[in-house]
Structure 1
Amino acid sequence: MTPGPAGTTVPAAPDAPALLRGSGLRVTDQRVAVLEVLRGAPHADADDVVRAVRERLGRVSVQAVYDVLAALGRARLVRRIEPAGSPARFELRVGDNHHHLVCRACGEVRDVDCAVGAAPCLVPGASGGPVDGFVVDEAEVIYWGTCAACAATPALLATAPDA
Protein backbone atom coordinates (compact mmCIF):
# COMPACT_ATOMS: atom_id res chain seq x y z
CA MET A 1 0.00 0.00 0.00
CA THR A 2 1.14 3.53 -0.73
CA PRO A 3 -0.11 6.87 0.60
CA GLY A 4 -2.97 8.31 -1.43
CA PRO A 5 -4.95 11.55 -1.42
CA ALA A 6 -6.25 12.88 1.90
CA GLY A 7 -4.54 10.21 3.97
CA THR A 8 -6.03 7.23 2.16
CA THR A 9 -3.97 4.29 0.96
CA VAL A 10 -3.99 2.81 -2.48
CA PRO A 11 -2.59 -0.55 -3.54
CA ALA A 12 0.87 -0.57 -5.05
CA ALA A 13 0.38 -0.25 -8.79
CA PRO A 14 1.51 -3.16 -10.93
CA ASP A 15 1.74 -2.22 -14.56
CA ALA A 16 -1.47 -2.31 -16.56
CA PRO A 17 -0.50 -5.19 -18.87
CA ALA A 18 0.36 -7.36 -15.84
CA LEU A 19 -3.01 -6.56 -14.24
CA LEU A 20 -4.84 -7.48 -17.43
CA ARG A 21 -2.92 -10.74 -17.94
CA GLY A 22 -3.37 -11.66 -14.28
CA SER A 23 -7.13 -11.32 -14.71
CA GLY A 24 -7.20 -13.36 -17.89
CA LEU A 25 -7.91 -10.35 -20.10
CA ARG A 26 -6.26 -9.66 -23.42
CA VAL A 27 -3.87 -6.70 -23.33
CA THR A 28 -5.11 -3.96 -25.67
CA ASP A 29 -4.08 -0.33 -26.04
CA GLN A 30 -7.56 0.79 -24.96
CA ARG A 31 -7.58 -1.34 -21.80
CA VAL A 32 -4.09 -0.20 -20.84
CA ALA A 33 -5.03 3.44 -21.46
CA VAL A 34 -8.18 3.19 -19.31
CA LEU A 35 -6.25 1.62 -16.43
CA GLU A 36 -3.55 4.29 -16.68
CA VAL A 37 -6.14 7.08 -16.77
CA LEU A 38 -7.88 5.72 -13.67
CA ARG A 39 -4.56 5.33 -11.87
CA GLY A 40 -4.02 9.06 -12.31
CA ALA A 41 -7.65 10.14 -11.90
CA PRO A 42 -9.49 8.05 -9.33
CA HIS A 43 -13.26 8.63 -9.31
CA ALA A 44 -13.30 9.79 -12.93
CA ASP A 45 -16.60 9.56 -14.74
CA ALA A 46 -16.86 7.88 -18.15
CA ASP A 47 -16.72 11.20 -20.05
CA ASP A 48 -13.47 12.10 -18.27
CA VAL A 49 -12.07 8.67 -19.09
CA VAL A 50 -13.07 9.00 -22.77
CA ARG A 51 -11.38 12.43 -23.04
CA ALA A 52 -8.18 11.23 -21.36
CA VAL A 53 -8.01 8.02 -23.42
CA ARG A 54 -8.45 10.05 -26.62
CA GLU A 55 -5.56 12.31 -25.53
CA ARG A 56 -3.38 9.19 -25.21
CA LEU A 57 -4.55 7.17 -28.19
CA GLY A 58 -6.23 9.56 -30.59
CA ARG A 59 -9.54 8.44 -31.99
CA VAL A 60 -11.48 5.99 -29.83
CA SER A 61 -15.24 5.58 -29.61
CA VAL A 62 -17.26 6.30 -26.51
CA GLN A 63 -18.73 2.80 -26.78
CA ALA A 64 -15.25 1.26 -26.82
CA VAL A 65 -14.40 2.99 -23.53
CA TYR A 66 -17.72 1.89 -21.98
CA ASP A 67 -17.00 -1.67 -23.13
CA VAL A 68 -13.52 -1.53 -21.57
CA LEU A 69 -14.91 -0.16 -18.29
CA ALA A 70 -17.51 -2.94 -18.23
CA ALA A 71 -14.90 -5.64 -18.92
CA LEU A 72 -12.58 -4.25 -16.25
CA GLY A 73 -15.50 -4.15 -13.82
CA ARG A 74 -16.42 -7.78 -14.50
CA ALA A 75 -12.77 -8.71 -13.94
CA ARG A 76 -12.87 -6.77 -10.65
CA LEU A 77 -10.03 -4.51 -11.75
CA VAL A 78 -12.28 -1.43 -11.62
CA ARG A 79 -14.99 -0.47 -9.18
CA ARG A 80 -18.01 1.56 -10.27
CA ILE A 81 -19.64 3.89 -7.76
CA GLU A 82 -22.81 5.89 -8.32
CA PRO A 83 -23.31 8.77 -5.90
CA ALA A 84 -26.91 10.03 -6.12
CA GLY A 85 -27.34 12.81 -8.66
CA SER A 86 -23.90 12.17 -10.15
CA PRO A 87 -22.71 10.18 -13.14
CA ALA A 88 -21.14 6.81 -12.39
CA ARG A 89 -17.51 7.08 -11.41
CA PHE A 90 -14.74 4.53 -11.69
CA GLU A 91 -11.72 3.70 -9.56
CA LEU A 92 -8.97 1.13 -9.27
CA ARG A 93 -9.21 0.71 -5.51
CA VAL A 94 -11.11 -2.58 -5.36
CA GLY A 95 -11.59 -5.40 -2.89
CA ASP A 96 -11.07 -3.50 0.34
CA ASN A 97 -14.66 -2.37 0.99
CA HIS A 98 -13.72 1.29 1.44
CA HIS A 99 -16.30 4.05 1.25
CA HIS A 100 -16.54 7.58 -0.14
CA LEU A 101 -16.93 11.20 0.93
CA VAL A 102 -18.81 13.38 -1.59
CA CYS A 103 -18.92 17.18 -1.46
CA ARG A 104 -22.42 18.49 -2.11
CA ALA A 105 -21.05 21.77 -3.49
CA CYS A 106 -18.30 20.77 -5.96
CA GLY A 107 -18.89 17.02 -6.33
CA GLU A 108 -15.39 16.02 -5.22
CA VAL A 109 -15.18 12.34 -4.26
CA ARG A 110 -12.62 11.01 -1.80
CA ASP A 111 -11.90 7.55 -0.47
CA VAL A 112 -12.41 6.85 3.21
CA ASP A 113 -11.54 3.58 4.89
CA CYS A 114 -14.20 1.23 6.25
CA ALA A 115 -16.10 2.69 9.20
CA VAL A 116 -15.59 -0.17 11.65
CA GLY A 117 -13.87 -3.54 11.46
CA ALA A 118 -13.45 -5.86 8.51
CA ALA A 119 -15.47 -6.07 5.31
CA PRO A 120 -18.37 -5.74 5.28
CA CYS A 121 -18.22 -3.15 8.00
CA LEU A 122 -21.99 -2.77 8.25
CA VAL A 123 -23.93 -5.94 8.91
CA PRO A 124 -27.72 -5.87 8.50
CA GLY A 125 -29.95 -7.43 11.09
CA ALA A 126 -29.57 -7.58 14.85
CA SER A 127 -27.82 -10.96 14.87
CA GLY A 128 -25.04 -9.93 12.49
CA GLY A 129 -25.70 -13.03 10.40
CA PRO A 130 -27.45 -13.56 7.07
CA VAL A 131 -30.85 -11.91 6.70
CA ASP A 132 -33.38 -14.34 5.23
CA GLY A 133 -30.52 -16.30 3.65
CA PHE A 134 -28.91 -13.21 2.11
CA VAL A 135 -25.18 -13.15 2.82
CA VAL A 136 -23.64 -9.67 2.62
CA ASP A 137 -20.10 -9.50 1.20
CA GLU A 138 -19.78 -5.75 0.66
CA ALA A 139 -21.25 -2.55 2.10
CA GLU A 140 -21.33 0.65 0.09
CA VAL A 141 -21.49 3.83 2.15
CA ILE A 142 -21.38 7.38 0.84
CA TYR A 143 -20.86 10.18 3.29
CA TRP A 144 -22.26 13.50 2.05
CA GLY A 145 -21.05 16.88 3.20
CA THR A 146 -18.87 19.81 2.25
CA CYS A 147 -15.16 19.68 1.50
CA ALA A 148 -12.82 22.15 3.19
CA ALA A 149 -12.34 24.24 0.03
CA CYS A 150 -16.08 24.70 -0.48
CA ALA A 151 -16.72 25.34 3.20
CA ALA A 152 -14.19 28.18 2.99
CA THR A 153 -16.01 29.68 -0.03
CA PRO A 154 -19.52 30.83 1.04
CA ALA A 155 -20.50 31.63 -2.58
CA LEU A 156 -20.07 27.95 -3.51
CA LEU A 157 -22.20 26.80 -0.58
CA ALA A 158 -25.02 29.13 -1.58
CA THR A 159 -25.21 27.50 -5.02
CA ALA A 160 -24.89 23.88 -3.84
CA PRO A 161 -27.94 21.78 -4.82
CA ASP A 162 -28.68 20.63 -1.27
CA ALA A 163 -27.51 23.73 0.59
Structure 2
Amino acid sequence: MPARSAASAASDAEDLLRGANLRVTRPRVSVLTAVSDNPHADTDQLIGAVRADLGDVSHQAVYDVLRVLTAAGLVRRIEPAGSVARYESRVGDNHHHLVCRSCGVIADVDCAVGETPCLTAADGLGFVIDEAEVTYWGLCPACSSAAAIATSST
Protein backbone atom coordinates (compact mmCIF):
# COMPACT_ATOMS: atom_id res chain seq x y z
CA MET A 1 0.00 0.00 0.00
CA PRO A 2 1.49 3.39 -0.93
CA ALA A 3 2.42 5.76 1.87
CA ARG A 4 -0.13 8.49 2.40
CA SER A 5 0.86 12.12 2.19
CA ALA A 6 1.12 14.26 5.31
CA ALA A 7 -1.83 16.32 4.08
CA SER A 8 -3.92 13.19 3.56
CA ALA A 9 -3.00 11.84 7.01
CA ALA A 10 -3.90 15.16 8.64
CA SER A 11 -7.20 15.28 6.75
CA ASP A 12 -8.04 11.73 7.86
CA ALA A 13 -7.21 12.61 11.47
CA GLU A 14 -9.34 15.76 11.32
CA ASP A 15 -12.29 13.75 9.97
CA LEU A 16 -11.94 11.20 12.76
CA LEU A 17 -11.80 13.92 15.41
CA ARG A 18 -14.88 15.67 14.01
CA GLY A 19 -16.69 12.32 13.79
CA ALA A 20 -16.03 11.80 17.50
CA ASN A 21 -17.25 15.35 18.27
CA LEU A 22 -13.78 16.40 19.39
CA ARG A 23 -12.26 19.78 18.72
CA VAL A 24 -9.66 19.64 15.95
CA THR A 25 -6.33 20.90 17.28
CA ARG A 26 -2.80 20.57 15.92
CA PRO A 27 -1.66 18.38 18.85
CA ARG A 28 -4.65 16.04 18.47
CA VAL A 29 -4.12 15.73 14.72
CA SER A 30 -0.41 15.13 15.22
CA VAL A 31 -0.85 12.50 17.96
CA LEU A 32 -3.60 10.68 16.06
CA THR A 33 -1.44 10.65 12.92
CA ALA A 34 1.59 9.45 14.90
CA VAL A 35 -0.41 6.57 16.41
CA SER A 36 -1.71 5.62 12.99
CA ASP A 37 1.75 5.75 11.42
CA ASN A 38 3.46 3.89 14.32
CA PRO A 39 1.28 0.98 15.46
CA HIS A 40 2.05 -0.26 18.98
CA ALA A 41 4.30 2.71 19.74
CA ASP A 42 4.89 3.69 23.34
CA THR A 43 4.48 7.24 24.60
CA ASP A 44 8.18 8.10 24.20
CA GLN A 45 8.07 7.06 20.54
CA LEU A 46 4.88 9.03 20.02
CA ILE A 47 6.31 12.11 21.73
CA GLY A 48 9.29 11.91 19.35
CA ALA A 49 7.02 11.67 16.31
CA VAL A 50 4.84 14.56 17.50
CA ARG A 51 7.87 16.72 18.23
CA ALA A 52 9.22 15.96 14.75
CA ASP A 53 5.91 17.23 13.39
CA LEU A 54 5.11 20.18 15.69
CA GLY A 55 8.38 21.11 17.33
CA ASP A 56 8.41 21.55 21.07
CA VAL A 57 5.46 19.87 22.76
CA SER A 58 5.30 18.74 26.37
CA HIS A 59 5.06 15.16 27.54
CA GLN A 60 1.90 16.11 29.42
CA ALA A 61 0.25 17.46 26.28
CA VAL A 62 0.82 14.13 24.48
CA TYR A 63 -0.39 12.15 27.50
CA ASP A 64 -3.52 14.32 27.70
CA VAL A 65 -4.27 13.88 24.00
CA LEU A 66 -3.74 10.11 24.22
CA ARG A 67 -6.17 9.97 27.15
CA VAL A 68 -8.82 11.93 25.20
CA LEU A 69 -8.35 9.87 22.04
CA THR A 70 -8.55 6.61 24.00
CA ALA A 71 -11.72 7.72 25.83
CA ALA A 72 -13.27 8.69 22.48
CA GLY A 73 -12.50 5.26 21.03
CA LEU A 74 -10.17 6.61 18.33
CA VAL A 75 -7.11 4.96 19.86
CA ARG A 76 -6.67 1.71 21.73
CA ARG A 77 -4.25 1.40 24.63
CA ILE A 78 -2.66 -1.98 25.19
CA GLU A 79 -0.27 -2.96 27.94
CA PRO A 80 1.20 -6.44 27.50
CA ALA A 81 2.63 -7.85 30.74
CA GLY A 82 6.05 -6.38 31.44
CA SER A 83 5.63 -3.64 28.85
CA VAL A 84 4.84 0.04 29.00
CA ALA A 85 1.53 1.21 27.57
CA ARG A 86 1.37 1.17 23.80
CA TYR A 87 -1.16 2.68 21.43
CA GLU A 88 -2.76 1.74 18.15
CA SER A 89 -5.37 3.17 15.83
CA ARG A 90 -6.89 -0.21 14.93
CA VAL A 91 -10.02 -0.06 17.07
CA GLY A 92 -13.46 -1.62 17.12
CA ASP A 93 -12.62 -5.03 15.69
CA ASN A 94 -11.52 -6.83 18.88
CA HIS A 95 -8.29 -8.12 17.33
CA HIS A 96 -5.56 -9.66 19.44
CA HIS A 97 -1.77 -9.40 19.66
CA LEU A 98 1.35 -11.48 19.25
CA VAL A 99 4.29 -10.45 21.44
CA CYS A 100 7.87 -11.68 21.04
CA ARG A 101 9.39 -12.69 24.38
CA SER A 102 12.86 -11.87 23.09
CA CYS A 103 12.76 -8.56 21.19
CA GLY A 104 9.33 -7.30 22.31
CA VAL A 105 7.91 -6.75 18.83
CA ILE A 106 4.10 -6.66 18.80
CA ALA A 107 1.93 -7.68 15.86
CA ASP A 108 -1.82 -7.69 15.31
CA VAL A 109 -3.64 -10.96 14.78
CA ASP A 110 -7.31 -11.41 13.99
CA CYS A 111 -9.56 -13.38 16.30
CA ALA A 112 -8.72 -17.08 15.89
CA VAL A 113 -12.25 -18.24 15.15
CA GLY A 114 -13.93 -15.44 13.25
CA GLU A 115 -16.13 -12.49 14.19
CA THR A 116 -15.84 -11.96 17.94
CA PRO A 117 -16.75 -15.25 19.62
CA CYS A 118 -14.18 -14.48 22.28
CA LEU A 119 -16.73 -11.99 23.62
CA THR A 120 -18.92 -14.91 24.66
CA ALA A 121 -17.43 -16.12 27.94
CA ALA A 122 -18.19 -19.59 29.25
CA ASP A 123 -19.80 -17.86 32.23
CA GLY A 124 -20.12 -14.09 31.95
CA LEU A 125 -21.25 -13.80 35.58
CA GLY A 126 -23.79 -11.17 34.54
CA PHE A 127 -21.22 -8.88 32.92
CA VAL A 128 -22.00 -7.14 29.63
CA ILE A 129 -18.78 -7.98 27.80
CA ASP A 130 -17.69 -5.57 25.08
CA GLU A 131 -14.02 -6.41 24.67
CA ALA A 132 -11.64 -9.32 25.15
CA GLU A 133 -7.86 -9.05 25.27
CA VAL A 134 -5.91 -12.05 24.10
CA THR A 135 -2.14 -11.92 23.97
CA TYR A 136 -0.15 -14.68 22.35
CA TRP A 137 3.45 -14.93 23.59
CA GLY A 138 6.35 -16.56 21.78
CA LEU A 139 9.28 -15.73 19.54
CA CYS A 140 8.98 -13.72 16.34
CA PRO A 141 10.46 -15.31 13.17
CA ALA A 142 13.76 -13.40 13.47
CA CYS A 143 14.26 -14.31 17.14
CA SER A 144 13.23 -17.95 16.67
CA SER A 145 15.71 -18.26 13.76
CA ALA A 146 18.46 -16.70 15.87
CA ALA A 147 17.61 -19.07 18.76
CA ALA A 148 17.72 -22.06 16.44
CA ILE A 149 21.10 -20.99 15.06
CA ALA A 150 22.47 -20.44 18.58
CA THR A 151 21.21 -23.86 19.71
CA SER A 152 22.67 -25.68 16.71
CA SER A 153 26.08 -24.04 17.15
CA THR A 154 26.45 -25.12 20.79
Deviating more after overlay: 36-45 vs 76-85: 36-45
Partner of 1:35: 32
2:125 maps to 1:132: yes
1:13-33 deviations in Å (ceiling 9; x for gaps): 871101000100011111111
Cα offset, 1:52, TM superposition: 0.8
Partner of 2:4: none
Instruction: State the secondary structure of the residue aligned to 1:80.
Output: strand
The residue type paired with residue 140 of structure 2 is C
Aligned residues: 143
Partner of 2:139: 146
Cα offset, 1:121, TM superposition: 2.0
| TM-score normalized with structure 2 length | 0.85
Q: Which runs of 5+ in 2 are unaligned?
A: 2-8
Q: Would you identify which runs of 4 or more consecutive aligned residues in structure 1 move more than 4 Å?
A: none
RMSD, aligned α-carbons = 2.1
Q: 1:20 aligns with which of 3, 17, 20?
A: 17
| TM-score normalized with structure 1 length | 0.81
Partner of 1:65: 62
Q: Distance in 2 between matches of 1:101 and 1:36?
A: 23
2:81 maps to 1:88: no
Q: Distance in 2 between matches of 1:148 and 1:71?
A: 35
Cα offset, 1:123, TM superposition: 2.5
Q: Which runs of 5+ in 1 are unaligned?
A: 3-12, 159-163
Q: Percent identity?
A: 62
Higher helix share: 2
